[in-house]
Amino acid sequence: LSNYICLFISFGLFVVDILTNENKVATVFAMYVLGVLVSVSLQLLYRIVLVKEEFRHLTSRYGGCVSNLLKNAFYFPTKVWIALAFSVFYAVYYCCTNNVTELPFNFKNIAFLIPSIYFLTSQLSLETSSLNDSLWIAKDNGLDYGSGMAYSFFHGYLNLVLPKTGTEEKNLKELMEDYEAENRILFAAYKLFILIPKSLECFVSLKNEHSPSVDESQSLPVKEITVAGVQKRVYKNAVYKINTGRLDEKIYVSAEYATPLRTFLEVVKHTGRHTEYYDKHKNDIILQFYLTLKQILKRTGLDEFCELIYYEDYPQNTEANSTPYYDVGKIILTRIKELKKYQREKIE
């Protein structure tokens, strides 16, 4: 309805312009064409400024591809290109057949011209582009898909299993200590490592052909929590052994993929109304999922029990005979080293 109202207002102002210019339709058209050209030019200038900023996100948003960045930055809907082509053609025609200096740019005409052009160009959707969509997602207003997944994952899972798991008294750290005593092992960190791969690929187990350093171990004790009408829903966290590369030394960690990513991958793969949009902005959505979840954990104090690992799991340049994915065990080891270094510096 709003689109029809804008078109009606534009047409009404256009008629008023014609009447105030003594029915000189060609002259009024020329002023409108000039307005459209100026509007498109200003939008292009704005996009150029944004491109300079977007080069900082060339890898995270565009996979290091400059052509993808430029294509997203300078995308315009088809109706904009049609309007632009018509405007250029008419401007050239008018300049060749009329005296441009005689265009009646007085206060009376401009008073009707400016709002009319505003309503007209609003129908062209000049600001519609993948780049502007990415910027909207990055504003962190909480309305994007990534933020929604983060809140659902936290309140529907992490907030249930991290603070008080197993019994009312024991949290994740205490359960891990019980596991250590029972199995005579030591965890590298009393945290649940949540893996957030940029490719969205979440394997059935961290132990797979791409991660030879990882081996499975017995899971932490099962948690039974009644949720949303489901009596004693079962939750359990996996435990893995990671070979450090030093003789037969192995460390133990509780780790898993962020399960919403698996669901999101299915959404991207299957054809639906918004599939193309999600596929185009999956990097933005995953990043926002990570940033929002990180903020939630910090705000609630549960970052003490949970460590997020947002990582590039798929090399950009893969050799013919090499594995297409990084060894996730090595990625976890690197994070553990960083955590221990941070703890030492904090003590000192």
**Domain locations in the chain?**
2-136, 145-347
Of 46-50, 121-125, 206-210, 264-268, least confident by mean pLDDT is 121-125
CB of 347 closer than 8 Å to CB of 261: no
Span 145-347: which CATH code? 3.40.50.12100
pLDDT confidence of residue 20? 62
The pLDDT mean for the chain works out to 80
Q: Which of 109, 112, 132, 131 is nearest to 120 (CA)?
A: 112
Per-residue pLDDT of 38-67, as tens digits, reads 888 888 888 888 888 778 777 766 767 788
Q: Looking at the whole model, is its pTM more than 0.75? A: no
Terminal Cα-to-Cα distance of the chain (whole angstroms): 65
User: What value does the mean pLDDT take over residues 80-107?
Assistant: 77
Q: Where are the alpha helices (DSSP H) in the chain?
A: 2-20, 25-54, 58-62, 66-73, 78-97, 107-122, 130-138, 145-153, 159-161, 172-183, 259-269, 275-280, 282-300, 328-347
Is 80 exceeded by the pLDDT of residue 179?
Answer: yes
Who contacts 298 (Cβ-Cβ below 8 Å, separation ≥6)?
none
Per-residue pLDDT of 221-275, as tens digits, reads 877 777 777 887 888 889 999 998 787 788 999 999 999 999 888 888 887 777 7
CB of 144 closer than 8 Å to CB of 91: no
Percentage of the chain lying above the pLDDT 90 cut: 22
Q: Which of 94, 86, 93, 87 is nearest to 27 (CA)?
A: 94
Who contacts 251 (Cβ-Cβ below 8 Å, separation ≥6)?
186, 187, 188, 241, 242, 244, 333, 336
